[in-house]
Amino acid sequence: MKRAVVIGLGIFGYNIARTLFESGFEVVAIDKNKDIIQKIRDHSTKAILADGTDQEIMDEIGIGEDDIAIISFGEDLAAATLITLHLKQMKVKNIIVKAPNEEHKLILEKVGATEVVIPEMDMAKKVAKSLVSPNMMDYIPLSEDYIISEMAPPNSFLGKTIRELGLRAKYSIEVIAVRDVLSESVHMVPQADFVIKDGEVLVVIGKETDINKIK
């Protein structure tokens, strides 16, 4: 079983810990706030009342190299940097840190964070995408140009096969999966004769500019 150690249980840390636990992870939740520890106790494998920046306590907890460490200290850059350095010394391979801005992100990457997330910025981008392209539900950036995107098919797509839509020829877009919204079943790499139906979501890969042309 995979184990995640979540250090700092603000809104971000608490919800990460709870979601991972409900998804089958072994979760160790750490915070110095007694009320939060009481709250997370039923939604984690182990809830520990402690200061995550205390190296001795962290050594006692025994975070392994293959554990996933998630650090969420709000805007406290000093605390996030200190624990990131310590985890790096412990040879933890996967260190994910929440940061409030790009400047903090650069610093945390320099001291050893393997991934730095800025939730507010990521959410702002998703909201903006949904306004620019209302049929685009979610997306994963692959590079500066290419993305994998979940999109609701326009009405003009319904009842047509992937061959008839000609997305590759018209937009240089590939349909890599189709998800049924009601059953949550996923049809991977649909054939050219696959018919798009109401209640299905297309998972496509292509340039963001090309995907945005489909309104």
- Mean pLDDT to the nearest integer, 183-203: 89
Q: Are residues 159 and 98 in the same domain?
A: no
Per the listing, tokens 């025994």 go with 62
> What is the spatial distance between Cα 24 and Cα 77, in angstroms, rounded to a whole number?
31
Q: What is the DSSP letter of 195?
A: B
Residues 6+ apart with CB under 8 A from 74: 8, 10, 98, 100
Query: How many CB atoms lie under 10 A from the CB of residue 63?
Result: 21
For residue 14, the domain's CATH number is 3.40.50.720
Q: Are residues 159 and 185 in the same domain?
A: yes
Q: Give the CA count within 13 Å in the CB-facing half-sphere of 107.
A: 15
What is the domain count for the chain? 2
Range from 42-46, 66-70, 77-81, 126-130 carrying the lowest mean pLDDT:
126-130
Each residue's pLDDT tens digit, 21-69? 998 999 999 999 999 999 999 999 999 999 988 888 888 888 889 999 9
The verdict on residue 124 lying in a domain is: no
Q: What is the DSSP letter of 145?
A: S
Helix (H) or strand (E) holding 187: strand 186-188
Residue 155 pLDDT exceeds 60: yes
Domain containing 147 equals 129-211
Q: How confident is the model at residue 94 (pLDDT cuts 50, 70, 90)?
A: very high
Q: Are residues 138 and 64 in the same domain?
A: no
For 157, counting Cβ atoms within 10 Å of its Cβ (0-12 exposed, 13-18 middle, 19+ buried), the class is: buried
The verdict on residue 192 lying in a domain is: yes
Strand partners, 48: 30
Q: Percent of the chain scored above 90 by pLDDT?
A: 46
What's the pLDDT score for residue 143? 66
Q: Are residues 174 and 71 in the same domain?
A: no
Residue 134 pLDDT exceeds 80: no
What's the pLDDT score for residue 83? 92
The overall longest dimension of the chain from CA atoms, in Å, is: 64
